[in-house]
A and B are shown apart, each in its own frame.
Chain A
């Protein structure tokens, strides 16, 4: 479903300093895989997701989605194949537009916008049905601007928008990190439910090692632009957070204490 070969991304700062964010990463994600990605700050997790989404070009390497080479596609073109949820709940939705208008745009993902009316009655019934799955009462608030919703509600809506048109790949970039623990848990549950029911292929970056093992069927650990660990079920199912930390320490060859502080 997603294939990445020899992908390199180097950031150059204003004074010419170079920072290798992705160091020749190879990755193959099969259809229906739900991959969690962990690693300390600066390991390249978000860079990997952004490179797949097309936020920036890469120095080297290729990216294929469902057999199509998308390496040179601009971000908005790739969006036809990719759904995304961001860490900041404000980014995924347009605050001044209503819930139904936001959903209508998400539903048209990848189609060229035309001069038809953006929302019609048929859409509305569909949206109500979809929103009722969230169990947040949003189905009765279609005409309210999204700016009136709480962070958690907006993130739930973003998740719905990212998945409503069944994207080939769903990218979740620490999408529960900015929420309070209870809301984070709800959004996590919702993520699980939606990914399972739509049989989506997903990549999820998280800082929570417990979540990394509990979500999905495969876990990647990244460090300094490389994938240093790649475990799948059933082996992964037996792993604990301590196992992960131990693996990290031995692979990286650094003292465990530091790493626990970094990863947690």
Chain B
């Protein structure tokens, strides 16, 4: 019982790991706080679920989901790079619009996929369990992403996230790099959404809420755990982070917390991880103050 629950948790960590790689690409590589993710994740799920529910080929559904995610990222990119709307707001606008779009695509708030042919069933016929399938997809994605970041375009993308003036004075259009980075990232997120829908057996219009924060938590936790410099390690960190994050949630639920408390826990986790350095310096200052207080001679 516990064993199968653990396997399920790790499977979740793996399939959400693809999303975490997408979040890593925008938040860490491009230094862009992209909230589109909360909309592009259910977008991927909606597109795949709609096609599967209508009797279409699930592989085709996954492909279209990726294309849809790409388009969503592109819209955020155009809002930000071309129309000069701030990065955060661009993402929020796309995400909000996608809520309606997702409902339109699905035609209702929830599409069940029980007893429908999914990508996961298809590989299941050949003895590939979900976790094996997710590992293969995840490792392929990770290696592709690592390799991409070592190409000329990858350099240009990383430089854009580091210091925009540098790539621009090397002849790179930083606007194009933002469009590219955002569409690639959201393509990964939509792929993850499409697979999650097939894994859990339904797509729901509300399934995207909190995706960004979960992705961010994975990236940050992974960075704390995998403390080796280098690109390959950073993407591995995002994957490890995703699995650890799901395990932490699993643990929290077993400790008796309600599933509805999870978002609060996640938010607190991200706050702690992000504020670590500031908290540490506040604490050190406090300690130093205390030491000095002890030095002052008492009358």
Instruction: Give the contacts of A60-95 with B (CB-CB under 8 A).
Output: 74-77, 79-80, 82-84, 86, 90-95
Indicate whether A105 reaches chain B with its CB closer than 8 angstroms: yes
Distance of A199 from chain B, by nearest CB (Å): 21
Count: A-B pairs, CB below 8 Å: 93
Q: In the complex, A109→B148 CA distance in Å?
A: 19
Stretch of A27-35, A96-104, A182-190 contacting B (4+ beta carbons < 8 Å): A96-104
Per a CB cutoff under 8 Å, which of A84, A109, A118, A161 touches B151?
A: A118
B163 and A114 contacting across the interface, CB-CB below 8 Å = no
Stretch of B67-75, B101-109, B126-134, B170-178 contacting A (4+ beta carbons < 8 Å): B170-178
Q: In the complex, A117→B169 CA distance in Å?
A: 21
Q: With A101-B155, A118-B152 known to touch, is A113 a contact of B172 (CB < 8 Å)? A: yes
A91 and B166 contacting across the interface, CB-CB below 8 Å = yes
Residues in B with CB closer than 8 Å to A145 are: 229
Residues in B with CB closer than 8 Å to A115 are: 148, 151-153
Q: In the complex, A162→B168 CA distance in Å?
A: 12
As a 0/1 sequence over residues 143 to 161 of chain A, the CB contacts with chain B under 8 angstroms (1 = contact) are: 0010000000000000001
A118 and B155 contacting across the interface, CB-CB below 8 Å = yes
Distance of B198 from chain A, by nearest CB (Å): 30
Indicate whether A37 reaches chain B with its CB closer than 8 angstroms: no
Q: With A79-B171, A109-B171, A161-B170 known to touch, is A114 a contact of B152 (CB < 8 Å)? A: yes
Q: With A113-B153, A117-B150, A118-B155 known to touch, is A93 a contact of B163 (CB < 8 Å)? A: yes
B156 and A93 contacting across the interface, CB-CB below 8 Å = no
Residues in A with CB closer than 8 Å to B154 are: 118
B155 and A113 contacting across the interface, CB-CB below 8 Å = yes
As a 0/1 sequence over residues 107 to 146 of chain A, the CB contacts with chain B under 8 angstroms (1 = contact) are: 0111101111111000000000000000000000000010
Distance of A173 from chain B, by nearest CB (Å): 11
A113 and B152 contacting across the interface, CB-CB below 8 Å = yes
B162 and A95 contacting across the interface, CB-CB below 8 Å = yes
Distance of B244 from chain A, by nearest CB (Å): 24
Indicate whether A212 reaches chain B with its CB closer than 8 angstroms: no
B165 and A77 contacting across the interface, CB-CB below 8 Å = no
Q: In the complex, A161→B148 CA distance in Å?
A: 23
Q: In the complex, A108→B151 CA distance in Å?
A: 12
Instruction: Give the contacts of B153-195 with A (CB-CB under 8 A).
Output: 153-156, 158-159, 162-163, 165-174
Q: In the complex, A84→B156 CA distance in Å?
A: 17
As a 0/1 sequence over residues 33 to 64 of chain A, the CB contacts with chain B under 8 angstroms (1 = contact) are: 00000000000000000000100000000000
Q: In the complex, A101→B158 CA distance in Å?
A: 10
Q: In the complex, A114→B157 CA distance in Å?
A: 12
A76 and B168 contacting across the interface, CB-CB below 8 Å = yes
**Closest Cβ neighbor of B154 among chain A residues:** A118
Q: With A94-B163, A95-B162, A96-B162 known to touch, is A77 a contact of B171 (CB < 8 Å)? A: yes
A94 and B158 contacting across the interface, CB-CB below 8 Å = yes
**Closest Cβ neighbor of B31 among chain A residues:** A96
Q: In the complex, A120→B150 CA distance in Å?
A: 11
Q: Can you list 22 A-B contacts with CB-CB less than 8 angstroms, sorted by A residue number?
A: A76-B171, A76-B173, A79-B169, A79-B172, A91-B166, A92-B165, A92-B166, A92-B169, A94-B162, A94-B167, A95-B162, A97-B162, A108-B152, A108-B170, A109-B171, A113-B156, A115-B152, A115-B153, A118-B150, A118-B151, A118-B152, A118-B154
